[in-house]
């Protein structure tokens, strides 16, 4: 009978458009590094899917990950997992670096391994009431896209992980 949307859909689409505009207007500077920046001009970009590339003596390997916070914070966590042996199993990237001893120099001292970082794309993270998390879905897309690549070190279990961003919007159990 009627092809016009109901009031609920009109209001919800209006609110989602306002939320997208509010999230994209950001007057912060693109970088706040004091010395050399890992991603010149993009290190404090939030909600990104990123790729880490490290070159082993045998071949080049890639790792795809995502972060809802600033990339610089996630980078520091990766860096800590390369240096601290207690955190060696936090990610597939840190497991690879520790197993190949890429973080050790000739004197068997722990150093920072040569990893090249790049941002693949910026997405929206989960907002309360949504059915999906754009950030998590696109991270899985990039992992699947490179899954049969011989240089991919992401685990197959990364595809079945639940969105961790939804937990902050759930009601706590009393």
Give me the pLDDT at residue 137, please: 92
> Can you tell me the distance from the alpha carbon of 159 to that of 172, in angstroms, rounded to the nearest whole number?
26
Give me the pLDDT at residue 141, please: 93
Give me the pLDDT at residue 164, please: 81
> Can you tell me the distance from the alpha carbon of 61 to that of 122, in angstroms, rounded to the nearest whole number?
22
Digit-coded pLDDT (tens) for 137-161: 999 999 999 888 888 999 877 788 8
CB-hemisphere CA count at 13 Å for 102? 23
Helix (H) or strand (E) holding 122: strand 115-122
Closest CA to 57 of 13, 90, 101, 17: 101
Helix (H, G, I), strand (E, B) or coil at 170: coil
Neighbouring-strand partners of residue 66: 49
Give me the pLDDT at residue 82, please: 93
Helix (H, G, I), strand (E, B) or coil at 47: strand
Give me the pLDDT at residue 2, please: 65
Digit-coded pLDDT (tens) for 58-79: 778 999 999 999 999 999 999 9
Give me the pLDDT at residue 119, please: 94
Output the six-digit token pair for 22. Answer: 């509010």
Closest CA to 120 of 20, 45, 56: 45
Residue with structure tokens 């706590």?
172
Give me the pLDDT at residue 142, please: 93
Sign of CA dihedral 93, 53, 124, 31: positive
Give me the pLDDT at residue 157, please: 78
> Can you tell me the distance from the alpha carbon of 158 to that of 53, in angstroms, rounded to the nearest whole number?
18
Please report, rounded to a whole number, the percentage of residues in the chain having pLDDT higher than 70.
87
Query: Could you tell me the pTM of the whole model?
Result: 0.78
Segments in the chain below pLDDT 70: 1-2, 18, 20-30, 56-57, 169, 171-174
């Amino acid at each position: 009978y009627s092809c016009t949307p109901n009031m609920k859909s009109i209001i919800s689409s209006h609110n989602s458009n306002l939320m997208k505009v509010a999230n994209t207007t950001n007057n912060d500077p693109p970088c706040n590094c004091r010395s050399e920046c890992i991603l010149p001009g993009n290190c404090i970009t939030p909600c990104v899917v990123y790729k880490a590339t490290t070159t082993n003596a045998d071949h080049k390997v890639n790792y795809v990950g995502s972060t809802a916070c600033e990339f610089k914070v996630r980078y520091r966590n990766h860096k800590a997992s390369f240096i601290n042996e207690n955190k060696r199993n936090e990610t597939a990237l840190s497991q690879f670096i520790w197993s190949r001893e890429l973080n050790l120099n000739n004197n068997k001292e722990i150093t920072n391994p040569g990893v090249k970082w790049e941002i693949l794309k910026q997405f929206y993270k989960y907002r309360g009431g949504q059915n999906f998390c754009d950030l998590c879905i696109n991270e899985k897309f990039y992992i699947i896209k490179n899954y049969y690549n011989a240089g991919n070190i992401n685990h197959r279990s990364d595809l079945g992980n639940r969105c961790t961003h939804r937990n902050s919007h759930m009601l706590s159990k009393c």
